[in-house]
Amino acid sequence: MVLEGGNIKALESLELKSQVETREGVKILTLVEEGYEVTTADVENEKVLIKLDPTEMKERIEMHDIEFENAQTALTETDEARAIQMTESENEIKTARQTARFALLDLEKYLGQEASLKVLAMRSLPATETALLQYEENFRERLVGDGAAASAESESSSQASPNDDVIDRGDWVRVDFTALLDNEELGDGEAQQELRKRQDELLVAQSEYAVELETVAGSEKLAEQQFITRATLDKEKVAMKKAQIAELSAATSLELYRRYEFPKRAEELLTKYEDSLHALDREKKEALAKLTQAEAKYKNAEQMMKMAQKKRDELNEQLESCTIVATKPGLVVYGSNERDRYYYGGEEQIEEGASVRYKQTIITIPDMRRMGVKVNIQESHIKKVEVGQKVRITADAEPDKTLTGEVMKVAVLPDSRRSYLSPNQKVYPTEIHIDGTHDWLKPGMSAKVEIITDELAGILRIPLQAVMIEAGDMITYVEEGGKPTRRDIEAGEFNDEFIEIKSGLEEGELVYLSKPMVDGEGVESGEAAEND
């Protein structure tokens, strides 16, 4: 049997703690008396048990209101800026899209549909409005590809030779527009109309020159026969010369158009279309960057608003927690159920006017229906104690009443706090549950527990103080013929009162409770006890 002293405690308790988070603690304004019995009616009526000073929390809420309003304003402004940026970006992209579409139409109008399709296919450019829409949808793929290409180009340029003048133009292909004229591949567009016009002008000039040439030939014959004057012949020769010059001018104009004006204009329109596509991509990139920035600012403002709202809710909760009401019936006990002073020895006593820290237990309402005892088992006895062992409990307040219980929990390691204060004394906290419900039991009562480590039936036992050790032998003194006689014994299990005798004594013999005093003639002494 292991005998230890401990304190009665409730196995389950409701701890009412301060939820007000302040640097210097919060003052208790009003407090229900210790020992007050909280009833079911108190719980239903939400009886106030604790009233803490709300002054500091109200001031903090007022100060935080400014931060909260600023966060709200910032969120509204960034949301509006995001919407404005989205509208502006959509308008800019719409303008760029329209410019690209008009440039495509201008190229098609000039070259004709068939020639336009052929040229744009050579450059791998969208040739129809449907293809242009598909080109826009593939924007993000090109954006990723451009990033990878830029990275590869940067890497290759760092490894290239200084004399390397090769220029990678990607899908760029030079278009020979004059071949379209030579192969008669132009469609029915402005270029074809201009070509026909110049060709017609050349034919007219050639016809007029031929007429003037015949006229001069006939006039020369007439002049030889003096049918016309020499002046008339010279005049006709001047007209022939003008017609010849007009023919040469028309031929030159046609050749200049074919070799220079047409390819130049076609290249300008194609370049304009390509530039409009690049401008469309650029507008989309810029719009994406601006929208990303606007969205990031909005998200940041939204996060700041959430943090401000969270802090506002926490402050309001702490303000509400300044008033603590009854939520469970039971007996009011000040402070923690453990009354642990190892870490918070500097705390003020719980009373009105005292300051309590954040999370400090102000009141504990134990569940009186389930009680137990917490004891500390000495290191020398801990091996004997196991979970499930039966226990006898005697409260100091009612020593005539013996309660029963059971060991429910034994610490694996010694109490580190007590080890710190007393390094040479190691104890193991042990929890014992008391059987049944007892109205007279109160938390904090001192109690003695007897942990029954082993039960022996039908044994011979004597009081523990009757056993002595001399020269390494276990002995006792037995009364024989009115005199004490030394007797060697073999002992077994023992507790704080009795010890088991395996041999050396017989039932009914009287043993001395202390070593008798022997004089020269015999014996003097001692109180004897009958063994059972």
Span 54-110, pLDDT tens digits: 999 999 999 999 999 999 999 999 999 999 999 999 999 999 999 999 999 999 999
Average pLDDT on 151-159 reads: 51
Based on the fold, state whether residues 447 and 464 are members of the same structural domain.
Answer: no
pLDDT digits (tens, 9 = 90+) for 177-192: 888 888 888 888 999 9
The whole-number pLDDT of residue 527 equals 54
Residue 314 covered by a domain: no
Host H or E run for residue 405: strand 402-410
Whether the pLDDT of residue 129 is over 50: the answer is yes
pLDDT digits (tens, 9 = 90+) for 281-305: 999 999 999 999 999 999 999 999 9
Based on the fold, state whether residues 346 and 283 are members of the same structural domain.
Answer: no
Average pLDDT on 502-509 reads: 88
Inter-residue long-range contacts of 239-243, CB under 8 Å, 24+ positions, other chains counted = 239/212, 239/215, 240/209, 240/212, 240/213, 240/215, 240/216, 242/212, 243/205, 243/208, 243/209, 243/211, 243/212, 243/213
Average pLDDT on 145-169 reads: 47
Residue 511 covered by a domain: yes
Residue 392 covered by a domain: yes
The whole-number pLDDT of residue 380 equals 82
CB atoms within 10 A of CB 35: 10
Answer whether 17's CB lies under 8 Å from 361's CB: yes
Residue count (the chain): 532
Provide the percentage of residues in the chain whose pLDDT is more than 70.
88
Count: domains in the chain: 3
Average pLDDT on 471-479 reads: 88
Please provide residue 436's backbone torsions phi and psi, each rounded to the nearest 5 degrees: 75, -175
The whole-number pLDDT of residue 346 equals 56
The whole-number pLDDT of residue 529 equals 56
The whole-number pLDDT of residue 167 equals 30
Based on the fold, state whether residues 343 and 207 are members of the same structural domain.
Answer: no
Instruction: For residue 76, give Cα distances in angstroms to 81, 168, 246, 296, 301.
Output: 9, 49, 75, 14, 9
Please tell me the distance from the alpha carbon of residue 449 to that of residue 375, in angstroms, as a whole number.
Answer: 8
Residue 72 covered by a domain: no
Based on the fold, state whether residues 372 and 408 are members of the same structural domain.
Answer: yes
Rounded mean pLDDT of the chain?
85
Please tell me the distance from the alpha carbon of residue 409 to that of residue 134, in angstroms, as a whole number.
Answer: 74
Answer with the residue of higher pLDDT: 44 or 493. Answer: 44
Residue 279 covered by a domain: yes
pLDDT digits (tens, 9 = 90+) for 189-235: 999 999 999 999 999 999 999 999 999 888 888 888 888 888 888 89
Based on the fold, state whether residues 200 and 97 are members of the same structural domain.
Answer: yes
Token pair of 136, please?
């826009």
CA angle (278, 283, 285) in 5-degree steps: 95
Whether the pLDDT of residue 520 is over 70: the answer is no
Which DSSP symbol is given to 348? Answer: P
The whole-number pLDDT of residue 145 equals 62
Host H or E run for residue 402: strand 402-410
Among candidate residues 142, 262, 130, the one with its CA nearest the CA of residue 190: 262
Domain harbouring 498, CATH code: 2.40.420.20
Q: Is the dihedral of CA 278, 283, 285, 286 positive or negative?
A: positive
Range from 118-127, 159-168, 386-395, 425-434 carrying the lowest mean pLDDT:
159-168
End-of-domain residue from the set 451, 482, 510: 451
Whether the pLDDT of residue 315 is over 90: the answer is yes
Alpha-helical regions (H) of 18-54 = 40-44
Residue 15 covered by a domain: yes
Sheet holding 460-463, edge to edge: 460-463, 498-503, 490-494
Based on the fold, state whether residues 217 and 266 are members of the same structural domain.
Answer: yes
The whole-number pLDDT of residue 326 equals 93
Residue 166 covered by a domain: no
What residue type is assigned to position 39 of the chain?
A: T
Please tell me the distance from the alpha carbon of residue 252 to that of residue 291, in angstroms, as a whole number.
Answer: 56
Based on the fold, state whether residues 395 and 445 are members of the same structural domain.
Answer: yes
Token pair of 25, please?
């603690």
Structural domain including 472 reads 460-530
Three-state secondary structure call for residue 222: helix
Based on the fold, state whether residues 207 and 255 are members of the same structural domain.
Answer: yes
Domain harbouring 439, CATH code: 2.40.30.170
Token pair of 251, please?
């031929």
The whole-number pLDDT of residue 171 equals 53
Host H or E run for residue 195: helix 190-224
Based on the fold, state whether residues 423 and 366 are members of the same structural domain.
Answer: yes
Whether the pLDDT of residue 338 is over 60: the answer is no
End-of-domain residue from the set 451, 485, 509: 451
Q: What is the pTM of this model?
A: 0.58
Based on the fold, state whether residues 346 and 423 are members of the same structural domain.
Answer: yes
Based on the fold, state whether residues 252 and 123 are members of the same structural domain.
Answer: yes
Based on the fold, state whether residues 444 and 467 are members of the same structural domain.
Answer: no
The whole-number pLDDT of residue 515 equals 86
CB atoms within 10 A of CB 42: 19
Range from 95-104, 331-340, 360-369 carrying the lowest mean pLDDT:
331-340
The whole-number pLDDT of residue 211 equals 93
Three-state secondary structure call for residue 517: strand
Answer whether 18's CB lies under 8 Å from 344's CB: no
Residue 47 covered by a domain: yes
End-of-domain residue from the set 428, 451, 474: 451
Three-state secondary structure call for residue 30: strand
The whole-number pLDDT of residue 164 equals 39
